[in-house]
Amino acid sequence: MSIKDNLDRIMNELPARVKLVAVSKFHPVERLMEAYNAGQRLFGENRPQEFAAKVPLMPADVQWHFIGHLQTNKLKLVLPHASLVESVDSMHLLEAINAWGAANGKVVPILLELHLGAEETKHGFSEKDIFEIFRVRAVPSLKNLEFRGLMGMATNTEDEAVIEADFARIEALFNRIREEFPELRDTFTELSIGMSGDWPLAVKHGATIVRIGTDIFGEREY
Ligand SMILES: *Cc1c(COP(=O)(O)O)cnc(C)c1O
């Protein structure tokens, strides 16, 4: 199957309201261009250096999401080019991105990453952390951030019940925040869940963004 065939198959199954991020990490620019030539315009990368190296090699109408752990000393590699930083996973990072936005006269669109279930990674906020960010009025003081929604990665398992429980948790949090903070409703609209193995389940649980690598580009060579 070619990259174009893979994209066509996914786009056929994906409801129109769901955006597809083609996760191109570890793949060379020639492969990204195959996806671009098949019509894909939204790409995701998870390592700052690789991200910054690829951006100038791709056409200017490509949109980039950053989806990996971001250290505050790498902001300048990522923030000038990312249309959305999906993986904001700590208060420290939140404040650093806000400060970068203030210094550069920009409002940076971000998603808060919820730490889901049994995932090996320790990155991400708890539900309680996320509520606190909104309840203690941190949001109005973080003027150079736009809170666009939530991101999460389900437990890495074949067990669909476990994956669905993870997605149900983040979906419930997303809906609760929108209910409790109506002033956010116009902008807090994105729920980024679902990857190659589990994206149809994510769509069932309200995904507005899915992040798919392997099902488009094949296995990564690390
Ligand atoms: C790599 C990655 C993906 C895509 O994973 P695949 O299983 O290849 O689809 C999605 N989200 C994040 C955060 C990733 O790092």
* Nearest-angstrom CA–CA distance, 169 and 117: 9
Q: Are 116 and 153 in contact (CB under 8 A)?
A: yes
State the pLDDT at residue 120: 64
Question: Cα of 144 to ligand 1 centre, how many Å?
Answer: 27
DSSP labels, 122-146: --SB-HHHHHHHHHTTHHHH-TTEE
Residue 23, ligand 1, Cβ within 6 A = yes
79 lines ligand 1 (CB under 6 A): no
| pLDDT, tens digit (0-9, with 9 covering 90-100), for 87-108 | 999 999 999 999 999 999 999 9
Question: Judging by DSSP bridges, how do beta strands 63-66 and 42-45 pair with one another?
Answer: parallel
Per the prediction, the chain carries an average pLDDT of 95
pLDDT tens for residues 137-184?
Answer: 777 789 999 999 999 999 999 999 999 999 999 999 999 999 999 999
Distance from residue 140's CA to the centre of ligand 1 (Å): 32
Å from CA of 175 to ligand 1 middle: 24
- Ligand 1 atom nearest to 46, measured from its CA: 15
118: confidence class by pLDDT, cuts 50, 70, 90: low
